[in-house]
Structure 1
């Protein structure tokens, strides 16, 4: 047929667009729509939109087809629904009806496929949507391949829970809807879908969602994993249960999420029905594999799957690949070592767990799961204890969910038999008329008695093994929870496991390890007395068992505990004993830790030289064995020491190095402490915005990991920085909770830290009063700050050392507060250290300066001298002893000006002479590199400007 005639014929042919779109609005998925449309536009002819049940594949395909029909007005667009088809003949009939082709019934299947292929080819350019292919994919795939070859101008868009794996297929996996970030109530596609569908089920228009409801909806859609079907089914019940009622009932989502509306196909009416549809399409080996995979709490590797499936690696790979291809397993982010991981959606997991129980295989799968993860977790924990290596910590972190599941499952096993015995005993007591006793706690007493009585009975060994398994799992996860937090997350589980283990006479070594782990967790949670009891018991048991390695670590932990309680001699005794034990065992990592702890002890005792020596030896050992965390800890401590000794540039290098290491290690608690120290250095040097940012980040991290004491200290530092920025109300909001928490924890130097931090609020109020001309009020504020300083520097009763002498945190805030008071220039004298006679003090931008031993000078009109002084101070901070060239000084003093070299040198000489006359002559140096400040000159910044302009202006 000539080309023109063909065009006329095509134009005359009626175009079918059988696209019955749902009445509901299409929400989200714009990126996915664009992505699939681009595949079709670029010429891909077989595109499979695949994904698990309820992900919205059909809805997306319908929306795409509708938009395609509008954009490609000359093309036919058909929808062929295959849900009711059960064989190839039915598929052929459905396709024929969709495109309007006349295909005689009763013909052989091969003939039907061929005739439909010719009919499709005759249609020219068109789009055919084949919806829900998965249940006939084996029978229909060859026919689909034939149609693709027969109709070169036709595009096929297939929706399926399984890929066709045909030549030329391009698969597009459809994942969940976009979710709001954890803890956020921001709008997202998932939130928008829920709100839209919930509104559709209301009799009247709903009120605009407030912040609280949005937060609840965000939490709900995160729990529903962004699966559109689950969200729509939940929205249908929101009017009855409310969002919080839905959240409370999600433990059994398969039955909760039943369709409330008419018009859905049976397989989509409930989440259970949608997943059962996929289950029914599996063969028995795949069903067994999926059921066993339900024991995984989170992502898992092929190696873990092989252990749980009890199959060789090759067979496990086949099973996992088949379940992944059928959308019943999803790809999960790879492990830190690059290992591929898979996971189940929660609805699939719930159904698979039911099937596992029906098959009677739950106990065996759980045993294999526990054996695999205990072996891996204990090996990684031992590796971390030996080397402190990041890869070992990451392996534990990757398996954290599974190890906690092992612990919880084991605890449930220890309780089952005892609870049954307890219930039986309580019923017997009631039958004998002891109803009152039963009501007053007979059940609890019976449970305890049953545990003890059956410890050696027929089931006692099994429960004892379960209790030991729980303790082993909780000890394996300790390295992650004690470094990355949240601290104390395992405390409740440890309490339960230790109670059961001691009732069931579990292995003493396992119990001793768990007691030590609980003692460390309690110390980090601020429970010093309880921690001391646990560590003491663990020490006695380890000594009795001759477990030298365990004993040495417990002794070191006791030293840290006593050190935190300011019991210096007891801390020293334990540190030195631990050091001797570590050396005898040849444990270099533990030796480095003990040396660093001794350095911290000397640091707190103000023996700075000895402290520096211990720190350097500890850092050297940590670097030698590659323990970044240990190096980060003692680099931070060494930086704090150098900051106190007046070497801010060296301190900054230490802090920045430590922060980089600890960030890589992922120790959020220690990273936060390092950031706090860096923020304190920024505060001391007058960079208040940077100080606030560091302290705010430290507070957030410490709150996340649950270190309450360190969080309170960080809040004190943040409050001081905010007050220095004159953000007084914000400072009060930080200092109030910090003071209450430190008072609750009861450590006197920490309580004094909060009182000193309030001195910055006193100072800010005094400065504001002075500017307003309220002299008496300003003097009162300054007086209040001075009294706080005096209290911190005074010794306690009976010659007890002062808080300032016992706490570097207190000393640091005192230094900053005293310098700021000196700048305020109000009467009443100076406290110890106030004013720093041997220091150069600068206000912001060097608007005012006070050289060592002199008074305040006003540089607000001496622009060049002020800018040069700022440049010299910054150079001393960054590179002590190195001079600034004349070119650098010219740019600093007269930025952007073009000046002849001779004129520039003359200007610099005049400005430097002004600085000499202000009292800086002994401290200004000139050498071959240029001008610099003497590196021995302490330079500090203050947030408060003096009350007077001093010597006038030029």
Structure 2
């Protein structure tokens, strides 16, 4: 009999007797009171010396005669107890590892450090944990004289097989099924060895226990584990494997090619015979950013180049990760599609973990702990808060949720492919409507609370908070409007209009408000008057900021009528302020002054100090525009005193702009420059774009009057770009006229006439004349340019300016084919 037959005698006899009895392994295991795994291990020869009781139980289950039983037990004695141990080394990599240089260096150092004996590579499925572990294992072999041992655990269905797998990998034939861990620890002993446990997440408790015991009993053993979930074993050092680097959205071709994610896509596309040219790199970059640099997703996306263009792949990924399938046939099933990879993780979750995982997919751009409580719990109780905190921690440990601890409050998020997968699971469970309604109500309350903090010392922090939550606010607004929820859409849009105005999102804020108003008017049930008035006021104010004065006035008059019907003096006062601003820009200074006075009287009756300050600010604003400088100074200084006491950053900025403008038109250029520099710095810190644009505008005029023409050009160009992006045509026209004055002083008369024509076209469009304080400069410039060019050339340049869109003028030059005979700008 050959050695192989001798070794397999017991295993062979067991198998023959089982087949003779007509039993499967599972049926024999059940009759004998053993596990199916134990029977399989004995038949395969992985367990060489079962306990006598195990042999007796098997013989009884097989109904062996005394003679067969004697041969059965004798076969155990003929099986040799020793053999030549052989380590199962790490697999050879199928291709070159892309990127990961920093990770390789760090892990090599960690594993060579005597104080670190357990390192866990964790991260979401498909991020490349196993591939990195292969590279590390193959690179550190010389550090471990007893060798590097690779233990694949993905196919291990349960805990007991983990020890068998480790034993087989280190070259140990277990002699007893009663003392496996003892034999394994004794076999490793004091040898310096690295054991790699690959894919531990589904047997994480067994792996944690095994690592703890072996590290306690084997002093020179080091373990490297890969797992989607932390082991939480003593001494564990965790390194989260991050996706590959992706290029920024506006990167140059060289920067795109250098990004690791792009390098992987190009390498995998090349394997399909596709070699994208440089002009396609932007689309490759789009693909890599869509999948956020996740290696498995990149490979699956690249596999689609045989049927789709890169643009098509990018377009598909903008809305869904469904095309991420069709991986290698030889890869494990969970690595052949992105959904299969996530199925593996999802199926390891408890029922409550699955529900929480699905619920937080409704967020966009991340979330906080209170927000998670709001969407997951019917009621925000202390017990629910504790549950959400625990569930969040568990999903972070399982690499399904990311946490950002940089700010004072932790913020959580998901990779986009995980979020899309969780959303599909939420749909499957039929809970989307309920969860999304909770999400909507949470952000309605958040926005309304935030609105009450604007105009206080908390304004800067509030704006930053709303910036952070902007994606969630937008998605909540979109859901409310798409479902025609009149009350919720009205409340949310009305609570956000001041934020949109301060951040310069005029068009977006108006679009949301107008949509909410349309739903309210068409709905079967009337919306409450206060909410309707607030929305009308916000829509009117934003329309005014975009110089659509007729629409703005209509919305504001409607709001004022509601406030007066409700006897709401505060609402009426705020609306009068906005109506006064429209009159101011139309150069109806008496009407504007009267409207602001009426607002001031209402605020005084209410004892509203903030309202009084803002009414005085606007009275000061009207006054310096009409060159009533003493009154403008008095109003503005009174407003500034309150704003400084209240810590109102927006109010302080506006007061400094007012006082700086008063100083400018009063001839105090150093004082004007000082005040306007202060307003510019504050507006920039606040992210208050309108304040930035105004400050740059007035500083540009100051620089021109100082004779610093190059500086004036720079400041005014920046101001024009800011106002053009905001959509403030009234101020853009004034900046064009100021630039024309600089061009005339710069002896570029043709370009000056062009700018004057462009400004005139803007003013004709919006119906707003040149402000009184600016008329002398504009009239002087026009006369000088007309005199220098002559009537015919002046008319030609003026007409070219009138025919050029504002956005083209803001680019800094007139079209060459139109103004070929004119001086070049500056």
User: What is the TM-score normalised by the length of structure 1?
Assistant: 0.67
> After the TM superposition, which of the residue ranges 172-181 and 343-352 deviates more from structure 2?
172-181
Mapped partners of 1:217, 1:709: distance in 2? 42
Q: 1:626–1:259: structure 2 CA closer, same or farther, 3 Å change rule?
A: same
Distance 1:502 1:130, change over 3 A: same
Q: Is the Cα–Cα contact under 8 Å of residues 629 and 667 in structure 1 kept in the other structure?
A: yes
Q: Which moved more, 1:704-713 or 1:394-403?
A: 704-713
Which has the higher mean CA deviation after the structures are superposed, 145-154 or 580-589?
Answer: 145-154
- Alignment partner for residue 103 of structure 2, among 32, 51, 63? 32
| Among 460, 464, 467, the residue aligned to 1:390 | 460
SS of match in other structure, 2:119: strand
Equivalent in 413, 416, 425 of residue 483 of structure 2: 413
Of residues 485, 490, 499 in structure 1, which corresponds to 2:504? 485
- SS at the partner of 1:159? strand
The aligned residue for residue 81 of structure 1 is 152
Cα shift readout 1:570-622 (whole Å, capped 9, x = no counterpart): 21121111111122222222221111111111111111121111111111111
1:347 aligned onto 2:423: no
Separation in structure 2 between the aligned mates of residue 234 and residue 734 of structure 1, nearest angstrom:
50
Match of 1:112 in 2: 180
Query: Once the 2 structures are TM-superposed, how far is the Cα of residue 780 of structure 1 from its aligned partner?
Result: 9.7
Q: Name which of 48, 57, 80 aligns with 2:120.
A: 48
Alignment of 1:908-947 (within 5 A): none
Aligned to 2:20: none
* 8 Å Cα contact 1:396-1:476 kept in structure 2: no
Q: Secondary structure at the match of 2:403?
A: strand
Asked if 2 retains the 8 angstrom alpha-carbon contact of 1:556 and 1:578, the reply is yes
Shift of 1:553: 0.8
| CA–CA separation in structure 1 for the residues paired with 2:741 and 2:786 | 19
1:571 and 1:333 mapped to 2: Cα distance? Answer: 50
Matched, 1:19 2:87: no
| Alpha carbons 2:494, 2:513 under 8 Å: kept | no
Q: How far apart, in 2, do the equivalents of 1:239 and 1:692 lie?
A: 53
Q: Secondary structure at the match of 2:321?
A: helix
Q: Is the 8 A contact 1:193 1:231 kept in 2?
A: no
1:328 pairs with 400, 403, 409, which one? 400
Could you say what secondary structure the match of 1:163 adopts? Answer: coil
**Offset of residue 517 of structure 1:** 1.2
Residue in structure 2 matching 1:179, options 246, 251, 254: 246
Report the CA distance between 1:239 and its aligned residue. 4.9
User: How many residue pairs were aligned?
Assistant: 705
Asked whether 1:155 is paired with 2:225, we answer no
Structure 1 distance, partners of 2:756, 2:324, is 47
Instruction: Determine the C-alpha separation between the residues in 2 that align with 1:634 and 1:167.
Output: 61
For the Cα contact (< 8 Å) 1:198–1:239, is it kept in 2?
no
Which residue of structure 1 lines up, in the alignment, with residue 429 of structure 2? 359
Aligned to 2:330: 263
Gap change, CA 1:159 and 1:757, over 3 Å in 2: farther
Partner of 1:797: none
Q: Distance in 1 between matches of 2:451 and 2:285?
A: 36
CA offset at residue 279 of structure 1?
0.8
Match of 2:591 in 1: 570
Instruction: Point out where structure 1 has 5 or more consecutive residues left out of the alignment.
Output: 1-11, 415-465, 764-778, 793-942, 945-954
Instruction: Check 1:785–1:205 CA distance in 2 against 1; reply closer, same or farther (3 A cut).
Output: same
Matched, 1:63 2:63: no
Corresponding position of 1:370: 440
**Aligned partner of residue 506 in structure 2, secondary structure:** coil
Match of 1:608 in 2: 629
Question: Do the aligned residues in 1 keep the contact of 2:455 with 2:648 (CA within 8 Å)?
Answer: no
* Contact in 2 for aligned 1:388/1:589 (Cα 8 Å): no
Aligned: 1:242 with 2:314: no
Q: Structure 1 CA distance, aligned partners of 2:173 and 2:751?
A: 79
1:167 aligns with 2:234: yes
> Of 492, 495, 502, which aligns to 2:521?
502
Shift in alpha-carbon separation, 1:366–1:206, aligned structure 2, 3 A: closer
> Relative to 1, partners in 2 of residues 1:669 and 1:278: Cα closer, same or farther, differing over 3 Å?
farther
Going from structure 1 to structure 2, the CA distance change for 1:558 and 1:194 (only over 3 Å counts) comes to farther
Matches within 5 A, 1:575-654: 575-654=596-675
* Residue aligning to 1:189: 259
How far does residue 638 in structure 1 lie from its aligned partner after superposition? 1.4
* Contact 2:269/2:303, CA 8 A, preserved across alignment: no
Superposition pairs of residues 900-911 of structure 1, within 5 angstroms = none
**Deviations along 1:504-547, whole A, 9 cap, x unmatched?**
22222211111111112222233222212111111112211222
Do the aligned partners of 1:735 and 1:758 also contact (CA within 8 Å) in 2?
no
Q: Does 2:198 match 1:128?
A: no
Q: Which residue of 1 aligns with 2:384?
A: 312
680-689 or 277-286: bigger deviation? 680-689
Once residues 249 and 354 of structure 1 are traced to their aligned partners in structure 2, the CA distance between those partners, rounded to angstroms, is 16
Instruction: Quickly say closer, same or farther: Cα 1:548–1:222, change in 2 above 3 A.
Output: farther
Out of 136, 161, 164, the position equivalent to 1:93 is 164
Shift in CA distance, 738/259, structure 1 to aligned 2, threshold 3 Å: farther
1:373 CA displacement: 2.2
Shift of 1:286: 0.8
Shift of 1:737: 8.2
Find the residue that maps to 1:255 and give its secondary structure. Answer: coil
CA change 1:607–1:712 in 2 (3 A) is closer
* 1:354-400 CA distance string (max 9 Å, x none): 22233332222223222322222212212325667323333333333
Secondary structure of 1:48 counterpart: strand
